[in-house]
A and B are shown apart, each in its own frame.
Chain A
Amino acid sequence: GQQVMQIPQYQHVQEGEDFTTYCNSSTTLSNIQWYKQRPGGHPVFLIQLVKSGEVKKQKRLTFQFGEAKKNSSLHITATQTTDVGTYFCAGPRAAGNKLTFGGGTRVLVKP
């Protein structure tokens, strides 16, 4: 079945530094979605990418969808303590509107 993998599993970042987390799907996706889950909280929708090679920015967050629509990345610049949490990517299954979530990247920020 479809698999969605994320690396790294954990990301320790010094406050102010940049980092990138990657998402790879075993199948071509119609779209890729990103969610953020704060510690003790629930996933919150961040963004959806649909087009091949699409790049979208949200303040310090830059999301990219690969040309083959099988991978995606999230780049955060000038990391802040508010960026702490787990970032999940998710891709729709071939049939229906179910999502397959990646394992997530847990981000810890060192002040």
Chain B
Amino acid sequence: GAVVSQHPSRVICKSGTSVKIECRSLDFQATTMFWYRQFPKQSLMLMATSNEGSKATYEQGVEKDKFLINHASLTLSTLTVTSAHPEDSSFYICSATPLVGPETQYFGPGTRLLVL
């Protein structure tokens, strides 16, 4: 149980384009979903917290207009990287906390974004 999927797993795009990443909890409902970014050989850095039906809360230094988050249902959150630039290339990982049970975060497989 507690499976989280992400799509796409890998994306290469040109600078200036927008990229949408989907995060789904497959077998549970999630009160909250989190979006992280991880650069090579570094730790996970929380970007934003996404709650169903309300606006996402962003961490300090993360541009909300650049990283658009939509939490359409208790099983789906999307992150759109708008006007992507090479410095946005990274590993983006989402996690979800089940509606019922301990506040453990279950991570998706991640999306590797490469902006040329």
**Which residues of chain A have a CB within 8 Å of any CB of chain B?**
33, 35, 41-45, 48, 88, 92, 96-104, 106
Quick check: is B44 within 8 A (CB to CB) of the other chain?
A: yes
Task: Tell whether, in the assembled complex, residue A99 and residue B46 are in contact, meaning their CB atoms are under 8 Å apart.
Answer: yes
Minimum CB–CB distance for A31 against chain B, Å: 8
**Which residues of chain B have a CB within 8 Å of any CB of chain A?**
32, 34, 41-44, 46, 49, 93, 95, 97, 102-110
From A97, A103, A106, contact of B97 by CB (8 A): A97
From A42, A44, A92, A102, contact of B103 by CB (8 A): A92
Residue of A nearest to B110 (CB): A42
Top 7 A-B residue pairs of the complex, sorted by shortest distance between their CB atoms: A97-B103, A42-B110, A42-B107, A43-B107, A103-B43, A101-B44, A101-B43
Task: Tell whether, in the assembled complex, residue B103 and residue A43 are in contact, meaning their CB atoms are under 8 Å apart.
Answer: no
Q: Chain B at the A interface: mostly helix, strand, loop or mixed?
A: loop
CA distance A88 to B41 in the complex (A): 12
Total A-B pairs, Cβ < 8 A? 42
From B41, B103, B104, B108, contact of A106 by CB (8 A): B41
Minimum CB–CB distance for B97 against chain A, Å: 6
Minimum CB–CB distance for A104 against chain B, Å: 5
Residues from chain A with Cβ under 8 Å of B41 in the complex? 106
Task: Tell whether, in the assembled complex, residue B93 and residue A43 are in contact, meaning their CB atoms are under 8 Å apart.
Answer: yes
Minimum CB–CB distance for B62 against chain A, Å: 13
Residues from chain A with Cβ under 8 Å of B44 in the complex? 43, 88, 101
Task: Tell whether, in the assembled complex, residue B105 and residue A99 are in contact, meaning their CB atoms are under 8 Å apart.
Answer: yes
From A33, A42, A97, contact of B108 by CB (8 A): A42
CA distance A21 to B4 in the complex (A): 28
Residues from chain A with Cβ under 8 Å of B102 in the complex? 48
Known interface pairs A45-B104, A97-B97, A98-B34; A88-B110 also in contact (CB < 8 Å): no
Minimum CB–CB distance for B107 against chain A, Å: 5
CA distance A42 to B36 in the complex (A): 11
In addition to A42-B107, A88-B43, A102-B43, 20 A-B residue pairs with Cβ atoms within 8 Å of each other are A33-B104, A33-B105, A35-B107, A43-B93, A43-B95, A44-B107, A45-B105, A45-B107, A48-B104, A88-B44, A92-B103, A97-B32, A97-B103, A98-B34, A98-B49, A99-B34, A100-B46, A101-B43, A104-B43, A106-B41
